[in-house]
Amino acid sequence: MQNEFIPLLLLMLVAAVICTAMVTLSWVLGPKKNTPYKASPYECGVQPAGNANERFPIKFYLVAILFVMFDIEVVFLWSWLTVFNSPLTGLDFKIFSFMEVLVYLSTWIVGYAYVVRVGAIDWDETTSLHPEKLGQTAQEAN
Amino acid sequence: MNYTIPTVDWSLVLPFALVALTGIVALIIETAHPKRDNGLIIGVSLTGLAATFVLLLTQLVLPPARTFGNMVLRDQFSVLLQLICVAATAVCFMFSDGYLREKKIAFGEFYPLTLWALSGAMVMVSTDNLLMLFVGLEILSIALYCLAGMSRSEARSEESALKYFLLGAFASAFLLYGIAFLFGASGSMSLPDIQKAVTGLTRDTLPMPVFGVMLVLVGLGFKASLVPFHQWTPDVYQGAPTNVTAFMAAVSKVAAFGALARVLVAAAPLHQYWFEALYWIAIATMCIGNLVALVQKDVKRALGYSSIAHAGYLLVALLAYTRDPDKVSLGTTVFYLIGYAAMTVGAFAVVSLAAKGDRDGSRYQDLHGLYRRAPFATVMLVLFLSSLIGIPPTVGFFGKQLIFLDALRTGLVPLAIVLAVNSAVSAYYYLQIMVAAFVSEEGAARPVSRKPGAGMTIGVCVCAAGVIFASLLGGYVQETTRTAALQAKPVPGRVQNQMEVINR
């Protein structure tokens, strides 16, 4: 049983040696001319502008999180649907599993209703936020 | 397709279904009128918890049962632990009202999330299937990560949520990896099957289950904050809102020890491989928890380290049980958990009075003058802290005494001595907290502490009743868990053989 894993170990060893060699050699052999431009963060070849520590809207993040959650919901639904649709499935199981899925979906619907209600995926902040909280933006708008 | 729908005994899942449903109802109330019906949310949550509590009480006398293809197990052990969790959460809800208002934390998110976390903890203690245990742990943890970061204006709260999340995810990975190994070794996720499979293994087949058990213990040790895996505890306990800390300290620990007990019982045939490791972990947990607590300058941090130390005491009780289940009852662990939940939640409840504005006053000097503003709560704080020290009429004393006697009875004399010495050491920092509450507020960093509301008074009274009267339950708990323990008895023959390994 042990012998089966020797090729795998060898592969790991070779990979480690090659990787270490590549990184170390380029570090040892490569010329080191440091310029300020080189030391600056890479921003697609353009000179970096502004501070990295600035505020940015997290709407995209919230939408991404919600997307992942509903994506997972679809994954579960899909596997259920495959069985549900099969001609081999008995009526008993169809009714039973349909009820189960309804219960499962209801939790998602409640969550979605809450998310919409508190304005988590509201793209236009001016409709959901209090005018005072908009601060600068509100004054600029006027 | 010959799939027959399994007959399901819904009464087994009803307690945690009810809790989860209460959470959903609370969320619907919030959705209907955001930030309006705070009182209604509290009312619904407490009603749901009360109903669950009564339901669990009626189930306490029922014989052990399984359902959902053996995924859910109900025995006296699980029902008792669920009762502790539900009661602790109810007390957290009672005193949260004033605290949440003071710190402007959204009610509509705190109550549902806490209820769902509770349902996860209840799932965790009422199963002996590793997969179900993992699902319960994740339901508990994910809600707790959000709850820890609930106080959004405080950087410390955010930080604690992130730390808890990263380390928690890491620990979950350990647990899952261990479960995979145990599944590989035994072909089953169910702990009784694993116990059967790992009995009488040979030298070649041993490494896999041993490795699996170790990884599972790491994962659960993180949740129970045993020493090498405890680093998150003080930071998270300090940073999280105080009511969340109270919930975390009580419910999360009860769930972790419930799961740990079942895993250790199933791993009893491998006793000789993990016993000594856990033996030293117990010593380290007790000593480091108490010694580091001595130099803390923050009450919540000190109580965090105290909870680590108490995890050590609980581990001693579990070790004594797994060593000789005939002489020692699992009831000691359950009894200590009852007392621990009551005194810890009570202490955090009183400490939460020190919050002012959107800041969490939790340094020792922030407690100054508490006696003048809230004399009743301060006297109760003294009671809870005496119980944490282990002063005689309180439950803390009887719990520690039981653990001490169990350790002596099973020949774990060094553990018993370390426990006794640690109890004496711990008195120092508990007394410091007491003194801080009685110092007058002149010279305090900032005059603090709200007047306690009615909810706080009731919650503190419930905890005080627990601390004083739980001792009367001692015999009953021991007797009840004895019937439950039949469900999960370690294999005695093998355990006896391991004795000389420890005694050498």
**Is the per-residue pLDDT at A137 higher than 70?**
no
Is the pLDDT higher at B470 or at A50?
B470
Question: What pLDDT, in 10s, does the model give residues A64-96?
Answer: 888 888 898 999 999 999 988 888 888 888 888
Q: Give me the helix-helix angle, B253-266 and B207-223, nearest 10°.
A: 170
- Give the pLDDT confidence score for residue A127 in this predicted structure: 62
Tokens for B489, please give them: 């008895």
Q: With beta carbons less than 8 A apart as the criterion, state whether B237 and B304 touch.
A: yes
For residue A78, the distance in angstroms to the closest alpha carbon of chain B comes to: 18
Q: State whether A110 and B5 contact (CB < 8 Å).
A: no
- Give the pLDDT confidence score for residue A96 in this predicted structure: 85
Q: pLDDT class for A138, splitting at 50, 70, 90? A: very low
Q: pLDDT class for A142, splitting at 50, 70, 90? A: very low
Largest CA distance in chain B: 78
Closest CA to B311 of B282, B342, B268: B282
Q: Is residue B5 part of a domain?
A: no
For residue A109, the distance in angstroms to the closest alpha carbon of chain B comes to: 11
Q: State whether A117 and B28 contact (CB < 8 Å).
A: no
- Give the pLDDT confidence score for residue B2 in this predicted structure: 60
Q: Is residue B3 part of a domain?
A: no
B3 contacts on A by Cβ (under 8 Å):
89-90, 93
How far is it, in rounded angstroms, from Cα B424 to Cα B422?
5
CB atoms < 10 A from the CB of B230, how many?
23
- Give the pLDDT confidence score for residue B404 in this predicted structure: 93
Which residues in chain B come in under a pLDDT of 50? 486, 488, 491-504
- Give the pLDDT confidence score for residue B225 in this predicted structure: 92
Closest CA to B64 of B135, B128, B140: B128
Question: What is the model's pTM?
Answer: 0.86
Q: With beta carbons less than 8 A apart as the criterion, state whether B382 and B438 touch.
A: no
Tokens for A43, please give them: 């921003």
Q: Tokens 């050699």: give the residue.
A: A25
- Residue of chain A minimizing CA distance to B109: A114
3-state class percentages of chain B: helix first, strand second, coil last, to nearest 5: 80, 0, 20
Q: What is the 3-state secondary structure (H, E, C) of B430-458?
A: HHHHHHHHHCCCCCCCCCCCCCCCHHHHH
How far is it, in rounded angstroms, from Cα B220 to Cα B125?
12
How far is it, in rounded angstroms, from Cα B387 to Cα B342?
10
> Mean pLDDT in chain B?
87
Q: With beta carbons less than 8 A apart as the criterion, state whether B231 and B225 touch.
A: no
Query: For residue B74, which phi and psi values (nearest 5 degrees)?
Result: -125, 115
Within 13 A of B36's CA, how many CA atoms are on the CB side? Answer: 8
Buried b (16+ CB within 10 A) or exposed e, B339-355: bbbbbbbbbbbbbbbbb
Percent of chain B having pLDDT more than 90? 54
- Give the pLDDT confidence score for residue B206 in this predicted structure: 85
Query: For residue B443, which phi and psi values (nearest 5 degrees)?
Result: 85, 0
Distance from chain centroid for Cα B388: 15
- Give the pLDDT confidence score for residue A135 in this predicted structure: 57
CB-closest option in A88, A111, A118 to B1: A88
Tokens for B114, please give them: 């806490």
B34 contacts on A by Cβ (under 8 Å):
117-118
Q: Which of B3, B13, B142, B165 to mutate to test the interface with A (most CBs of A within 10 A)?
A: B3
Question: What pLDDT, in 10s, does the model give residues B130-170?
Answer: 999 999 999 999 999 999 998 888 888 889 999 999 999 99
Which one-letter amino acid corresponds to residue B96? S
Task: Burial-class residue B9 by CB neighbours within 10 Å (0-12, 13-18, 19+).
Answer: middle
Q: Tokens 């006296």: give the residue.
A: B76
- Give the pLDDT confidence score for residue B484 in this predicted structure: 65
> For residues B160, B162, B163 and B169, what is the CA-based torsion angle, rounded to 10 degrees?
140
CB atoms < 10 A from the CB of B310, how many?
28
Q: Is residue B1 part of a domain?
A: no
Closest CA to B119 of B111, B130, B107, B129: B111
Interfacial residues of A (vs B; Cβ cutoff 8 Å): 83, 86, 88-90, 92-93, 96, 107, 110-111, 113-114, 117-118
Closest CA to B364 of B441, B427, B437, B289: B437
Tokens for A31, please give them: 């010329």
B339 to A96, B3, B171, B222: CA distances (angstroms): 43, 47, 27, 22
Residue B1 in contact with partner chain A when CB distance is under 8 A: yes
Structurally, chain B folds into a number of domains equal to 1
How far is it, in rounded angstroms, from Cα B230 to Cα B301?
13
Q: With beta carbons less than 8 A apart as the criterion, state whether B27 and A114 touch.
A: yes
B311 to A2, B155, B291: CA distances (angstroms): 40, 28, 14
Buried b (16+ CB within 10 A) or exposed e, B246-279: bbbbbbbbbbbbbbbbbbbbbbbbbbbbbbeebb
Looking at this predicted complex, what is its ipTM? 0.75
- Give the pLDDT confidence score for residue A130 in this predicted structure: 62
Tokens for B4, please give them: 């027959």
- Give the pLDDT confidence score for residue B10 in this predicted structure: 86
Residue B8 in contact with partner chain A when CB distance is under 8 A: no
How far is it, in rounded angstroms, from Cα A118 to Cα A125?
12
**Is the per-residue pLDDT at A136 higher than 60?**
no
Closest CA to B178 of B220, B124, B126, B225: B220
- Give the pLDDT confidence score for residue B363 in this predicted structure: 82
B5 contacts on A by Cβ (under 8 Å):
92-93, 96
Q: With beta carbons less than 8 A apart as the criterion, state whether B284 and B221 touch.
A: no
Q: What is the DSSP string of B218-250?
A: HHHHHHTT-GGG-THHHHHHHHS-HHHHHHIII
Q: Is residue B4 part of a domain?
A: no
Average pLDDT over residues A13-35: 92
Average pLDDT over residues A126-133: 62
Full domain range(s) for residue B320: 10-503
Closest CA to B85 of B232, B221, B249, B243: B249
- Give the pLDDT confidence score for residue B277 in this predicted structure: 92
